[in-house]
Amino acid sequence: MLELRNIKKAFGDCVANEDVSLTVHKGKIHAIVGENGAGKSTAMKIAYGFYNADSGEILVDGREVSIRTPHDAIALGIGMVHQHFMLVGAMTVAENIILGAETGSVVNLDLEKAEAEIRTLSEDLKLGVDPRAIVEDLSVGQQQRVELLKALYRHADLLILDEPTAVLSPQEVVDFFDILRRMREQGKTIIIITHKLDEVLAISDEVTVMRDGRVVGNVTTSETNAKELARMIVGRDVLLRVEKPEAHPAGDILEIESLSVRGKHEVAVDNVSFSVRAGEIVGIAGIEGNGQTELIECLAGLADAASGSVRFDGRDITKLSARKRKELGIAHIPEDRHRRGLLLNSDLSENSILGVHYRPPIAASGFISGTAVEKRVTEIIENFDVRPPKPELLARSLSGGNQQKLIIGREFEIEPRLLLVSQPTRGVDIGAIEFIHRKLIELRDSGAAILLVSAELEEVTALADRLLVIREGRIAGEVDPRSASVEEIGLLMTGGEA
């Protein structure tokens, strides 16, 4: 279906793809894996016409083609769903899907015909998407389906999916994979770019492994395993499980009493009480959209409490600003790194000082010290392996995983007494996951308190010393992550019965 031959692509002196060659067979699900910055997304964006290769050839159905723009790719039956959805929230599903491919005249759009076609596509694949629904009212999983429909509406036979499960709950991933299998049965070809090796083994037929801009392996999925893939990805053996010593918690650092927080339309956090001690990780598990976001943002000072209180080290901070909380030693790694974590159009140096830009040693006598900024960004890049290691690069030019490492490095630099962390390894490669997990354990063992939210049940149970389950904005229960089964936690998450 698709063949890339000797693709080369550089951005200035940064080589993203070097002699990349791979073959994707028709009617297969083909996974592309590799570390952040390995060149996976760049190669696929070249196949989609988002970037133009410096040299090399692209073949579709055995025929050499020129793909200079996404319009060229769409005309050849290639669609791409990007890691960050490209949808207009205020518009309906149908309006989003036909945007750029409108039926009828410009003056008189045939929206009803488009809605009928979209409804038929949705029913054929059992997507359950209402063409008239407003996109901003849909869950993340439903928005993912809208992106699929957008590509299929344009008659795509080959779909490129970039980190498609990064923002999905475990159940949404199961449902999504069922959809991909139905698409494969209908003759579609699918390329999935992902970091999650368990998902690669569960859904794909073939795997291409990339490292440092090159293809280092092509394997049949049924003939490999997670350990072998991890070794190819990183170039060394990787610890696929979290190793941590026993926690030795001290006194309470964070105390939450009867806390309620309003969401967009209703109460998102409802009368929640719990504490986090120094030297421990308290995990929060739950299906996304059950109040985790509002809880963390309230604790970080980004949202107001409707009622209840928050105490930090014995002091009431319920009404303190985000700046004041950071000054006390509360760090925050947000779930949405673009909206809350970075200034995408600023360089790495500027992003490295966010939150401390007005304090010594960064600022002195009303001026920012270039020497201090350079020292700080260099330490973050080196200590957290941010790639490419160029302080002058804009934050938006980094891969998602490297953006995450930049944020984590910045927050660790303040040596926090309390770390609020949401989705720490979302969109992060296997080697970086191991690294981030180790850093979190080290921070815990230094005496910091950590409140961890993760949609990855395996991650939150492996890292947490105590595990709270949240459902509909309330704490549904507390379990011991060392002994609780996935089924037990899942029942608490969904409100089901044993």
Identity at 142, one-letter amino acid code: Q
Domain ranges of the chain: 2-234, 252-494
Specify the CATH class of 252-494 in words: alpha beta
List the 474-479 sheet strands across, edge first: 330-333, 418-422, 449-453, 281-285, 466-471, 474-479
Q: Tokens 């950590």 label which residue?
A: 450
Per-residue pLDDT of the chain (498 residues; tens, 9 = 90+): 999 999 999 988 889 999 999 999 999 999 999 987 789 999 999 999 999 999 999 999 999 999 999 999 999 999 998 877 888 989 999 999 998 776 555 556 778 888 999 999 899 888 889 999 999 888 777 888 899 999 999 989 999 999 888 777 677 788 889 999 999 999 999 999 988 899 999 999 999 999 999 999 999 999 999 999 999 998 888 766 788 999 999 999 999 999 999 988 789 999 999 999 999 999 999 887 899 999 999 999 999 999 999 999 999 999 999 999 999 999 999 998 888 999 999 999 999 999 999 999 999 888 999 999 999 999 999 999 898 899 999 999 887 788 999 999 999 999 999 999 999 988 777 878 888 999 999 999 999 999 999 988 889 999 999 999 999 999 999 999 999 988 888 889 888 654
For residue 439, give both structure tokens.
């850093």
Element holding 105 (H helix, E strand): none
For residue 419, give both structure tokens.
């770390």
Phi, psi of 336 (to 5 degrees): -105, 95
Specify the CATH class of 2-234 in words: alpha beta
Domains 2-234 and 252-494 belong to one CATH topology = yes
What residues are paired with 70 via a beta bridge?
none
Instruction: Give the separation between CA 140 and CA 432, rounded to whole angstroms.
Output: 25
